[in-house]
């Protein structure tokens, strides 16, 4: 006899992560033709940048897109990076969740091990073709074709052959379908432009389908400060993390495990902890740590006073560079930029927010025509970026959008944030960006992150407000001055007739009087203005 359950569970199967993302490719960013193309370029370029930076090479990337008819394009991305060893190339391009980044506590653009394998899968399901990879590591040089065995999430490497190279580098190419090249706000051109602006040491050559090559030369000839790989901070550790670290630790004692595995844990701090969790034997083998003990330790972590997380793990764009970038994109009349001090979220994951506000010029305008299938994601005046990677999609779902929209812009001289010529720029840098989706286009709305973005925008807003009120005062004064001066000449000659005195002398005296009076008004207004600004600065808390 079969039960109901037996009948239903006849259909029980296991699926690979590749099968899952093949069915749900929209979750990887493959929805809409323009967006899908941008996703491919974004994955390859981010990987090239990460590899060059890790190898200490000034990145030079070339991107080629050639139309092959019927929503099909040949795409080639080549870099001067370190290349990939033959041994790893299959999995790097054709195993979802394999890579060098997922498990490291290091600021990188990629952090999942999904992107490049996702591209291989997308080529495969839209044109049936493998991707072609050419890699020169300086030790070995080869080329090959790669596909994913979707059922097993394993690579199939074929046509492996020697290649000739002069220097190290990686070149990946393929035929992709279901995509479309368009010069929209969310298109490849905009993506590359914004990538260069956030990465001034990057040189990109881009050949779009028209064949007209465009170069984005580098504006700085040195590598950015290299982010350091760090150990996690005790305040960012949950019970489950602690258990996992302890159980795979090679330390002999719990005490030495704590010192070796976490940032800021010294012998002194271990002693402090010892006082807080007397019932736990810190000399025991970390493999014997129990959940209840780990829970107590995590609680004790929160009672100890720690030095903050190591911050040289973070690599920002820099205030100067953001200013250049915003001027370059928006041609504004005024820019204010702020880099905040590093903060932590979820207790101990360090992050930094950089913010800029541009006013006037092209700020606040749609930068270019909308993509045909992307009308729902355009947020013209909020330019988002995470770990120096531009975020072009899913704006409405992002901590940055939420923070920017929650600011009381009137306080900063902006009566209507959506309508006025104002644009904001935000970059978040962290060893772990909590993206809200696998496609990594929006940052999850973690309270600490939203709060910090708001504070950054308020910092910029205060500087902007001074500029705007200055401009408005000046305009007001100028119009008053002009109004008065219209009457002075007439008045001088009238007074001259009545009094018999010299018209020129009267005119001169009147001018002096007006100038003096004018100065008094100006000074008085400046005083009021300063008081007002002080009030704004004193009560930012009320916005929180």
Does 538 bind its own copies (CB under 8 A)? Our answer is no
User: Judged by CB, which is closer to its own copies: 224, or 238?
Assistant: 238
User: Judged by CB, which is closer to its own copies: 13, or 305?
Assistant: 13
CA–CA distance, 351 with 434 (Å, rounded to integer): 11
Contacts of 8 (CB under 8 A, 6+ apart): none
The whole-angstrom distance between residue 369's C-alpha and the CA centroid of its chain comes to 23
Does 542 bind its own copies (CB under 8 A)? Our answer is no
Does 517 bind its own copies (CB under 8 A)? Our answer is no
User: Judged by CB, which is closer to its own copies: 54, or 319?
Assistant: 54
Q: For the chain, what's the residue count?
A: 544
**Which residue in the set 210, 283, 287, 291 belongs to the binding site for its own copies (CB under 8 A)?**
291
Does 13 bind its own copies (CB under 8 A)? Our answer is yes
CA–CA distance, 13 with 459 (Å, rounded to integer): 54
Least Å distance, CB 18 to its own copies, is 10
What is the per-residue binding string for its own copies in 251-280, x denoting contact by CB under 8 A? Answer: ------------------------------
Least Å distance, CB 97 to its own copies, is 5
Does 139 bind its own copies (CB under 8 A)? Our answer is yes
**Which residue in the set 402, 451, 525, 529 belongs to the binding site for its own copies (CB under 8 A)?**
402
User: Judged by CB, which is closer to its own copies: 130, or 413?
Assistant: 130
**Which residue in the set 207, 219, 239, 256 belongs to the binding site for its own copies (CB under 8 A)?**
239
CA–CA distance, 171 with 206 (Å, rounded to integer): 14
Provide the 10 A C-beta neighbour count for residue 18.
24
Q: Measuring CA to CA, how many Å separate 139 from each of 85, 452, 527?
A: 9, 46, 70
Task: Using the structure block, give the residue that is written with the tokens 């504070």.
Answer: 455
Residues 103-122 that bind its own copies (CB under 8 A): 103-104, 112-113
Does 85 bind its own copies (CB under 8 A)? Our answer is yes
CA–CA distance, 538 with 386 (Å, rounded to integer): 30
Least Å distance, CB 138 to its own copies, is 4
Compute the Cα dihedral for 26, 32, 36, 42 and give only its sign. Answer: negative
Residues 183-202 that bind its own copies (CB under 8 A): none
Taking CB under 8 A as the binding criterion, the range among 213-221, 236-244, 382-390, 510-518 that sits at the site for its own copies is: 236-244
CA–CA distance, 231 with 260 (Å, rounded to integer): 9
Least Å distance, CB 99 to its own copies, is 7
User: DSSP string covering 358-395, please?
Assistant: EESTTTTS--SPPPTT-TTT--TTEEEEETTEEE-S-G
Residues 450-509 that bind its own copies (CB under 8 A): 450
Residues 42-71 that bind its own copies (CB under 8 A): 51, 54-57
Task: Output the CA angle 270-271-277, nearest 5 degrees.
Answer: 85
* The two three-digit tokens of residue 443, written as one number: 């940052």
Does 87 bind its own copies (CB under 8 A)? Our answer is yes
Q: Measuring CA to CA, how many Å separate 320 from each of 147, 221, 453?
A: 43, 15, 19
* Exposed / middle / buried, residue 530 (Cβ in 10 Å: 0-12, 13-18, 19+): exposed
Residues 367-386 that bind its own copies (CB under 8 A): 373, 376
Q: Measuring CA to CA, how many Å separate 10 from each of 2, 5, 6, 233, 255?
A: 11, 9, 6, 47, 51
Does 424 bind its own copies (CB under 8 A)? Our answer is no
Least Å distance, CB 128 to its own copies, is 3
Provide the 10 A C-beta neighbour count for residue 396.
12
Does 347 bind its own copies (CB under 8 A)? Our answer is no
**Which residue in the set 59, 83, 115, 174 belongs to the binding site for its own copies (CB under 8 A)?**
83
**Cβ atoms of residues 438 and 430 within 8 Å:** no
**Cβ atoms of residues 363 and 377 within 8 Å:** no
User: Judged by CB, which is closer to its own copies: 237, or 510?
Assistant: 237
**Which residue in the set 77, 84, 358, 414 belongs to the binding site for its own copies (CB under 8 A)?**
84
CA–CA distance, 199 with 196 (Å, rounded to integer): 5
Does 23 bind its own copies (CB under 8 A)? Our answer is yes
Q: How far apart are the first and last CA of the chain?
A: 64
User: Judged by CB, which is closer to its own copies: 113, or 187?
Assistant: 113
Does 324 bind its own copies (CB under 8 A)? Our answer is no
**Which residue in the set 47, 168, 195, 336 belongs to the binding site for its own copies (CB under 8 A)?**
168
Least Å distance, CB 424 to its own copies, is 18
Does 145 bind its own copies (CB under 8 A)? Our answer is no
**Which residue in the set 152, 159, 240, 493 belongs to the binding site for its own copies (CB under 8 A)?**
240
Least Å distance, CB 314 to its own copies, is 19
* The two three-digit tokens of residue 451, written as one number: 């709060």
Count, residues near its own copies per rule CB under 8 A: 82
CA–CA distance, 352 with 338 (Å, rounded to integer): 11
Does 396 bind its own copies (CB under 8 A)? Our answer is yes
């Amino acid at each position: 006899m079969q039960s109901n359950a037996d009948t239903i569970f006849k259909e029980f199967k296991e699926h690979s992560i590749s099968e899952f993302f093949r069915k749900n490719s929209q979750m990887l960013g493959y929805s809409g033709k323009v967006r899908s193309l941008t996703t491919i370029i974004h994955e390859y370029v981010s990987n090239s940048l990460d590899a060059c930076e890790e190898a200490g090479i000034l990145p030079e990337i070339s991107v080629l897109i050639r139309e092959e008819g019927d929503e099909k394009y040949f795409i080639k991305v080549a870099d001067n990076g370190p290349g990939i060893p033959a041994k790893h190339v299959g999995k790097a391009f054709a195993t979802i969740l394999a890579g060098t980044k997922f498990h490291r506590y290091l600021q990188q653009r990629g952090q999942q091990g999904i992107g490049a394998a996702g591209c291989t899968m997308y080529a495969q399901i839209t044109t049936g073709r493998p991707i072609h990879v050419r890699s020169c590591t300086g030790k070995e040089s080869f080329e090959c074709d790669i596909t994913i065995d979707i059922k097993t999430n394993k690579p199939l490497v074929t046509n492996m052959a020697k290649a000739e190279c002069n220097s190290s580098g990686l070149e990946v190419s393929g035929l992709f379908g279901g995509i479309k090249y368009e010069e929209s706000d969310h298109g490849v051109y905009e993506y590359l432009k914004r990538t260069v602006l956030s990465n001034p040491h990057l040189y990109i050559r881009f050949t779009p389908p028209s064949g007209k090559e465009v170069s984005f030369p580098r504006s700085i000839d040195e590598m950015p400060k290299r982010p350091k790989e760090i150990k996690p901070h005790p305040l960012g550790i949950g019970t489950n993390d602690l258990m996992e670290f302890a159980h795979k630790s090679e330390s002999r004692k719990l005490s030495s495990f704590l010192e070796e595995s976490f940032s800021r844990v010294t012998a002194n701090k271990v002693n402090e902890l010892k006082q807080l969790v007397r019932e736990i034997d810190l000399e025991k083998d970390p493999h014997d740590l129990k959940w209840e003990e780990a829970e107590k330790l995590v609680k004790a972590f929160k009672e100890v006073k720690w030095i903050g997380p190591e911050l040289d793990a973070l690599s920002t764009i820099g205030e100067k560079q953001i200013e250049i970038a915003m001027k370059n994109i928006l041609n504004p009349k005024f820019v204010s930029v702020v880099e905040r001090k590093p903060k932590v979220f979820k207790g101990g994951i360090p992050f930094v927010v950089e913010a800029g506000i541009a006013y006037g010029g092209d700020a606040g305008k749609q930068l270019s025509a909308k993509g045909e299938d992307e009308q729902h994601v355009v947020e013209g005046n909020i330019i988002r970026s995470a770990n120096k990677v531009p975020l072009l999609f899913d704006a409405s779902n992002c901590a940055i959008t939420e923070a920017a929209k929650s600011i009381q812009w009137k306080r900063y001289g902006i009566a209507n944030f959506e309508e006025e010529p104002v644009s904001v720029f935000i970059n978040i840098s962290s060893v772990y960006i909590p993206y809200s989706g696998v496609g990594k286009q929006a940052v999850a709305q973690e309270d600490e992150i939203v709060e910090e973005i708001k504070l950054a925008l308020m910092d910029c807003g205060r500087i902007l407000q001074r500029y705007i009120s200055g401009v408005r005062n000046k305009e007001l004064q100028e119009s008053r001055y002009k109004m008065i001066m219209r009457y002075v000449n007439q008045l001088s000659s009238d007074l001259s007739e009545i009094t018999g005195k010299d018209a020129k002398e009267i005119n001169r005296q009147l001018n002096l009087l007006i100038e003096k009076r004018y100065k008094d008004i100006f000074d008085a207004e400046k005083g009021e203005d300063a008081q007002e600004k002080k009030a704004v600065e004193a009560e930012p808390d009320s916005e929180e």
